[in-house]
Amino acid sequence: MFFEETWLDLLARGIILSFIGLVWVTLLIRIVGLRSLSKMTNFDFVMTVALGSVLANAVTTDKWITFWQCLAAMVGLFLVQVIASKIRKTSDTAEDIMQNQPVFLYKDGAFCEEAMTSARVSKSDVIAKMREANCLSLDQAQAVVLEATGDVSVLHGDTLDERILEDVKTV
């Protein structure tokens, strides 16, 4: 692509294509917004992984046509994400299809065994998340929620506003 000498061409491709690819992704993020790399839904997570994969292909290619195709694919990923987020925002049905519902793993002093089995989460996983949240006893946790993103939220403190839990599913 750049030089006849193999090692020099490999070095130049690695540096130049990486630079162009990263600038291109940064430009797309500036246009679309930071929401594009958030992990608010499982759809967003897949977008981030796919973007990384396409960028990796772009910076390791040895053909210009493949490089340009990868840059176009990145635009396509961002467009699909923008369209999907607009559809999700306007349609509850689309929201239900595209996004998992958060689920209780622990509530009111008890582990939610059925939900934990369904989500393939062990009791030790939930307890580890409680420790990460600085719970000093099980009684300190009001609830533990497996969020739609796959993150685990530990809600602890003296009071809990039930409005925070409105969309959380009890299995």
Each residue of 86-108: pLDDT tens digit? 998 899 888 888 888 899 999 98
Each residue of 122-151: pLDDT tens digit? 999 999 999 999 999 998 999 999 998 888
Domain extents for the chain? Answer: 6-96, 100-165
Each residue of 21-64: pLDDT tens digit? 999 999 999 999 887 877 777 778 888 899 999 999 999 999 99
Residue 36 confidence (pLDDT): 81
Picking from 47, 143, 65, the residue whose alpha carbon sits closest to that of residue 103 is 143
Picking from 114, 167, 119, 111, the residue whose alpha carbon sits closest to that of residue 144 is 111
Residue 73 confidence (pLDDT): 97
| b (16+ CB within 10 A) / e for 36-74 | beeeebebbbebbebbeebbeebbbbeeeeebeebbebb
| Confidence band for 67, pLDDT divided at 50, 70 and 90 | very high
Residue 10 confidence (pLDDT): 92
Residue 40 confidence (pLDDT): 73
Assign domain 100-165 to a CATH class.
alpha beta
- Both structure tokens of 65: 């046509």
Picking from 165, 56, 33, the residue whose alpha carbon sits closest to that of residue 112 is 165
Residue 43 confidence (pLDDT): 79
Q: Are strands 103-107 and 152-156 parallel, antiparallel or unpaired?
A: unpaired
In the predicted structure, residue 162 carries a pLDDT above the cut 80: yes
